Amino acid sequence: MAPFEALYGRRCRSPVGWFEVAQSRQKSYADVRRRALEFQVGDWVYLKVSPMKGVVRFGKKGKLSPRYVGPYKVMRRIGKVAYELELPSEMDLVHPVFHASMLRKCVGDPNAIVPLDVVGVVEDNLTYEEVPVQILDRQVKRLRNKDVASVKVLWRNQQVESATWEAEADMQRRYPYLFHSTQA
């Protein structure tokens, strides 16, 4: 029996043992935040890109360069942690198989992403003018002593579910061409 064990009633942990204890403690802390990444065939994912110093990628430089690009469709799973993506023709030089840590799941509908060329002119402050396409419905709400007419407007680059109710007088003033076709 070692003198430490006789004095304290337990075995002494040597510095070699401290390393294993610290390592297991760090692993338990890391495992709490770790999540298993699994994607199914047909899922949409974003691809992580790492900015290189001084290189302009995807139209931005430095801190403003995007961390993820996409979304891209998962074509097939290769092994436990690799996935093949359907990349566009501009990325022909990039090998289409990526580790799961390079991917982030696309939450939402990837078909709702509108390409810039469809939007039209984007201003310097990243705004663009949304143009109404059609009047879908009309309603009149009765307030205490007046009637308020509103119309349901379908906007360009939007789906029917995202049509909005606007004041009819304001819409007639700004977009009179929408009302000439509906009143005929």
Could you give the domains of the chain? 44-112 (no CATH), 132-182 (2.40.50.40)
Residue 118's closest CA among 156, 80, 89, 91?
A: 156
**pLDDT tens, position by position, 95-154:** 889 888 888 888 877 666 666 666 666 666 666 677 888 899 999 998 888 898 999 998
Peptide bond preceding 15 in cis form (omega within 30 of 0): no
Put residue 46 in one of left, alpha, beta given phi > 0 → left and psi -120 to 50 → alpha: beta
Q: Residue 177 and residue 134: Cα distance in Å, rounded?
A: 10
Angle in degrees, CA 121, 123, 124, rounded to 5:
145
In this structure, the dihedral spanned by the alpha carbons of residues 91, 95, 100 and 105, taken in order and rounded to 10 degrees, is 20
Q: From residue 51, how far is each of 48, 71, 101 by CA, in Å?
A: 10, 18, 16
Q: pLDDT averaged over the chain?
A: 79
**pLDDT tens, position by position, 15-36:** 766 777 888 888 888 888 777 7
Q: Residue 25 and residue 21: Cα distance in Å, rounded?
A: 6
* 153 exposure class (CB count in 10 Å sphere: 0-12, 13-18, 19+): buried
CB 45 within 8 A of CB 72: yes
Which token pair is 48? Answer: 């992580």
Which token pair is 167? Answer: 């004041």
Lowest mean pLDDT among 88-92, 112-116, 171-175: 112-116
Q: Residue 24 and residue 113: Cα distance in Å, rounded?
A: 44
